[in-house]
Every structure is written in structure tokens, then in C-alpha cells.
Amino acid sequence: MTIRSIIQPDNGILRKKAIRVQSFDHKFQTLVDDMVETLLDAPGVGLAAPQIAVSQRLIVVRLQDDEESVKEFGDLAGKLFVVANPEIIKKSKELVEGVEGCLSIPGYIGLVDRHESIVITGQDRKGKALRIKANGWLARVFQHEIDHLDGRLYIDIAKKVWQPRDEEEDEVEME
């Protein structure tokens, strides 16, 4: 496994629509492993393949597994989600405002409206169909990562973007 470099907006790959994953071969499995290792090293809660300069529709998501996260998210804390070709098939009407950061845009955070709950379909790392219902913070993370697959960054839809104070940055988990 290899920790990959996370690209920033000056790299055009972040602004392109990623292509569908067609093959779940050894090369793809290595990509998944590298993305997970990169995410954990960053550290972050979500990573999309375009963020490491790979234009494929693949995301990895893992909520923190510290004591506070376990209280808030229960069994979802620390659970790893690997989703190829994710698609949001259902979303709540209710939007929730929240603060987001991004591993590809270090040093900034923004205020973004996201759907409170969503349903995603896609494929797991072996190509098997999956369906995920996500609420709250997990739904926000999935929406953020899926946006990356369509060449959209949170700064494109944020109400406000700013450089956080040190204590503020510690409170925001990067996606």
C-alpha cells in the first residue's frame, strides 16, 4: 500500500467528471488500499479518487472511531465504506447547514447546505451491488465525496468560505 499525494484545485482532474469503474481487478484493489491508507494518513473522513489524480468514480469514507464518535454514530463510527460508481437515488427535502473542510483545499473551511438524509447505490470493492442509507454527518460526507466525482468542490456551493482559527480547524473533520 502507498500513501498517494492529494491534489489541489490547480490540478484540472479535480474539475472533471470521473469515469465509471469498469474493472474490479488487482489494479483497482491496489487503488482502494492506497486510498484507504491515504485517507487515514491525512487524516480525513472521506476521499474521492480524483483527489489523488485518478479519474474514477470511487470514494472511501470512514467516520472517526474515537469515544465521542462512538457515542454519536454508534456502529458507524470507524466503519469503512468503499463505494464504486456511487449514485444518490433519494434525498430528503430537508437541507442542513454545516461546516466542511476538504483535504484538497487545506487551510479553508466553508458553510454548506446538504440534504439531511440520502440513499446511495453503488458497488463494493468486489463489484457487488450495495445500497447505503445515510443521515446527518455521514450523509454530508457522502454528498461531499460524490460531488468530487462530478468535478464539484464544496467551495462552489458554500455560502461562506474562510480560514479557520486554530481551535475551529480542530473541530472540523476533513473530507
Q: What is d(CA 119, CA 146) in angstroms, rounded to the nearest whole number? A: 12
The one-character DSSP state at 169 is H
Query: Which among 145, 167, 173, 175 is annotated as catalytic?
Result: 145
Q: Does residue 145 have an active-site annotation? A: yes
Q: How many CB atoms lie within 10 A of CB 141?
A: 23
Q: What is d(CA 61, CA 166) in angstroms, rounded to the nearest whole number? A: 25
Q: Are β-strands 129-135 and 117-123 bridged in parallel, bridged antiparallel, or unpaired? A: antiparallel
- Rounded to the nearest angstrom, the gap between the alpha carbon of residue 143 and the centroid of all alpha carbons in its chain is 7
CA-CA-CA-CA torsion sign (100, 104, 105, 107): positive
> Beta-strand (E) ranges in 29-92?
46-48, 58-62, 80-91
- Hey, which residues are catalytic here? 145
